[in-house]
Amino acid sequence: MKSLFKFLSLVVLMCLIILLSGCWPGAFTKKVKNFPTKLQRIHDNIDKQKASFDNLKNEADYNKIAKYAEKEDWESNFQKANVEFNHAEKIYTNEIASLLKKKKRESIPIAEKHFERISTSLKIALDFSKKPMQRAEQLLNAIKKMPEITQQSEKEFKESKVISSRFFEFAKKAQIDYPKKKSDISKKISAVNKILDDIKKANTTIKSESKSKEPDYANLIDNSTLLTQKLSEIDNKSYKLKTKIEELYKCYTKTLTDMKFEQKPWMNLVQYSWSNYSDWDNTRKTKDENVDITMTEFREIEEKFKKYPNGYVVKCGSDYEIWVENYDLEENYYHRYAITEDGDRSLTGWREVKEDYYEKYEDDLGMDIVAKPYGYYEEEVIEQSTPEGMALVGNKDCGRWRNDHRGNRYWEWYGRYHFYSRIFGGHRYYYNDWNRWNTSYRGVKPYYGKSGDQYGTTGQFVQSNSRYQNTDIGRKSNFRSQSSSVRGAGTASRGRGPGGGGK
């Protein structure tokens, strides 16, 4: 009986789908049918603009601007408007109207595409029809208010000079502070200078027209509009480029100082219940929940699933059974960092990270996994793991090169970066080691030292450093006795779900 009901329901559903697929929704049909009214409204609007312009030609003020109307051929805008309108009307008549007759649902996307084309043409048509009156009002205003326009342009010109002057002063100082970026900053200065030159030319033209016995008001108002636009452009450009150059004055590193993962075992308990007073099977699922368990319980369940892979009963009664139907290990991964920004250092709490991110930096304890030295842009940030602070070596804002008693060059930290000397406990970066990283590893791949076992989780520096011996990962991995000769062995064994076979 149930099968017959399902079959009949499916037949009815398919009939509805077939029926609906052969027609347009009422709202869309109404939109298509009413569209000629919209077309007529826009056509009337275009005619109204033409009538307004024709009336203007009969007024005395028109004589003041008639030469501009003739020179710029304002009348042609109405012809262009009609061409665009006729194009839109043709699309509706030849394309959409024919689809309306059939009303096939699959034709709706096609009709919508045609409507997009029509909307574009109608907007262009309206814009063309408005141009003559807009231009006329613009020129009449220029004739009436030429002194005010000239004064405003001069004000905007002075403002642009102030904006550009501040930018040039800042940019030129940056060239001195970071000579390696001098060429790049010069390009930024040139970009602002180009806009300033356009502003100067526009202002010169405005002044010239305002002093002329027969000023060209079209030339005056066009340059006034251009100057206003360029003022906004130079303001935005200067701000963006200054913000970009300011990146050179920022320095930060993100050092991986500790890491851990937590395993949370759970089992899935499902209860099935039934009534003993029914003549047919009425078994139903009445509970389905995941329950946290201990690792001992997890191992016990793991052994039982080898014998009962589909689950097993843990409790039962006359009208119910409770099954263990699934189990797994949920793993969460965490990092702790030391964040150094412009010489100020702070330690973070535990931050949860994704498994692939955890595994990516498993070998990189005690290393900078992000470094952005002074004199570099954000897009030049170093994301290949680097010995802590090494990316800042060679930077005059952080220290200087000195010679030890044997004549070997080493890096001496000073100022706000002197804390590195305490952190490293007397360890120094020598020029040869730094130069090897700088020329062959920088921005290319992680650097663990010349022999490959000096830095990082299993490196000699971390293994022997009390800072890391007392970390969560240090205690679990027994840094003081762990061999550091094998790179990539990981920091501790991790399970991968039931039986270690994956989650």
Domain-embedded: residue 101 = yes
Q: How many CA atoms lie within 13 A of 491 on its CB side?
A: 28
Give phi and psi for 245, each to the nearest 5.
-65, -35
Domain-embedded: residue 461 = yes
Say whether both 222 and 125 belong to one domain.
Answer: no
Chain mean position to CA 328: 36
> What is the rounded CA–CA span in Å between residue 380 and residue 259?
27
Predicted pLDDT at 480: 55
Predicted pLDDT at 497: 37
> What is the rounded CA–CA span in Å between residue 457 and residue 145?
75
Which strand (E) or helix (H) includes residue 167? helix 146-177
Least confident of 13-22, 72-81, 401-410: 13-22
> Across residues 394-417, what is the average pLDDT?
93
> Across residues 409-434, what is the average pLDDT?
90
Least confident of 41-45, 455-459, 492-496: 492-496
> What is the rounded CA–CA span in Å between residue 363 and residue 387?
12
Per-residue pLDDT band at 277 (split at 50, 70, 90): confident
Predicted pLDDT at 493: 40
Pairing of strands 399-403, 386-387: unpaired
Residues 6 or more apart whose Cβ sits within 8 Å of residue 452: 487
Q: What proportion of the chain, given as a percentage, has pLDDT over 90?
A: 74
Decide if pLDDT at 473 tops 60.
yes
Domain boundary among 129, 144, 159: 144
Terminal alpha carbon distance of the chain: 43
Q: How many CA atoms lie within 13 A of 83 on its CB side?
A: 6
User: Max CA-CA distance within the chain?
Assistant: 111
Token pair for 447: 């650097």
Least confident of 98-107, 155-164, 171-180, 232-241: 98-107
CA distances from 362 to 304, 369, 396, 457 (A): 34, 11, 32, 7
Place of tokens 């730094």: 434
pLDDT in tens, 221-273: 999 999 999 999 999 999 999 999 999 999 999 999 999 989 899 999 999 99
Predicted pLDDT at 42: 95
Residues composing the chain: 503
pTM of the model: 0.76
> Across residues 153-166, what is the average pLDDT?
98
Chain mean position to CA 48: 46
Which strand (E) or helix (H) includes residue 411? strand 409-413
pLDDT in tens, 357-399: 999 999 999 999 999 999 999 999 999 999 999 999 999 999 9
Predicted pLDDT at 491: 41
Domain-embedded: residue 17 = no
Q: Are 163 and 234 in contact (CB under 8 A)?
A: yes
Domain-embedded: residue 431 = yes
pLDDT in tens, 102-152: 788 888 899 899 999 999 999 999 999 999 999 999 999 999 999 999 999
Domain-embedded: residue 433 = yes
CA distances from 485 to 211, 288, 373, 377 (A): 85, 49, 31, 37
The residue with greater pLDDT, 491 or 200, is 200
> Across residues 3-10, what is the average pLDDT?
38
Q: Where are the beta strands (DSSP E) in 216-307?
A: 252-273, 284-292
Least confident of 42-56, 90-104, 143-157, 173-187: 90-104
Per-residue pLDDT band at 278 (split at 50, 70, 90): confident
Say whether both 71 and 175 belong to one domain.
Answer: no
The residue with greater pLDDT, 490 or 39, is 39
Say whether both 176 and 101 belong to one domain.
Answer: no
**Nearest to residue 398, comparing CAs of 420, 381, 371?**
420
Token pair for 236: 């935005």
Q: Are 89 and 7 in contact (CB under 8 A)?
A: no
Predicted pLDDT at 478: 67
Say whether both 357 and 459 belong to one domain.
Answer: yes
> What is the rounded CA–CA span in Å between residue 412 and residue 421?
8
CA distances from 107 to 17, 146, 343, 456 (A): 16, 57, 65, 63
Domain boundary among 249, 266, 295: 249
Per-residue pLDDT band at 22 (split at 50, 70, 90): low
Return the amino acid letter for 381.
V
Say whether both 178 and 228 belong to one domain.
Answer: yes
Predicted pLDDT at 479: 65
Domain-embedded: residue 436 = yes
What DSSP assignment string belongs to 452-480? Answer: S-SSSTTSHHHHT-HHHHTSHHHHHHTTT
Say whether both 131 and 175 belong to one domain.
Answer: no
User: What is the residue range of 161's domain?
Assistant: 146-249
Domain boundary among 144, 164, 193: 144
Token pair for 152: 């405003």
The residue with greater pLDDT, 449 or 481, is 449
Domain-embedded: residue 266 = no
> What is the rounded CA–CA span in Å between residue 125 and residue 42?
9
Say whether both 34 and 54 belong to one domain.
Answer: yes
Say whether both 78 and 127 belong to one domain.
Answer: yes
Predicted pLDDT at 102: 77
Mean pLDDT of the chain: 89
Say whether both 124 and 162 belong to one domain.
Answer: no
pLDDT in tens, 55-76: 999 999 999 999 999 999 999 9
**Nearest to residue 92, comparing CAs of 72, 121, 63, 71?**
121
The residue with greater pLDDT, 474 or 194, is 194
Say whether both 92 and 151 belong to one domain.
Answer: no
Say whether both 464 and 483 belong to one domain.
Answer: yes
> Across residues 437-455, what is the average pLDDT?
93
Q: Are 198 and 230 in contact (CB under 8 A)?
A: yes
Per-residue pLDDT band at 472 (split at 50, 70, 90): confident
pLDDT in tens, 330-344: 999 999 999 999 999
pLDDT in tens, 281-308: 889 999 999 999 999 999 999 999 999 9
Decide if pLDDT at 6 tops 80.
no
Decide if pLDDT at 442 tops 90.
yes
Place of tokens 């030849």: 94
Predicted pLDDT at 104: 85
> Across residues 411-424, what is the average pLDDT?
89
Token pair for 429: 């970066």
**Nearest to residue 324, comparing CAs of 288, 270, 285?**
270
Residues 6 or more apart whose Cβ sits within 8 Å of residue 290: 266, 267, 268, 269
Domain-embedded: residue 319 = no
Domain count, the chain: 3
Say whether both 78 and 157 belong to one domain.
Answer: no
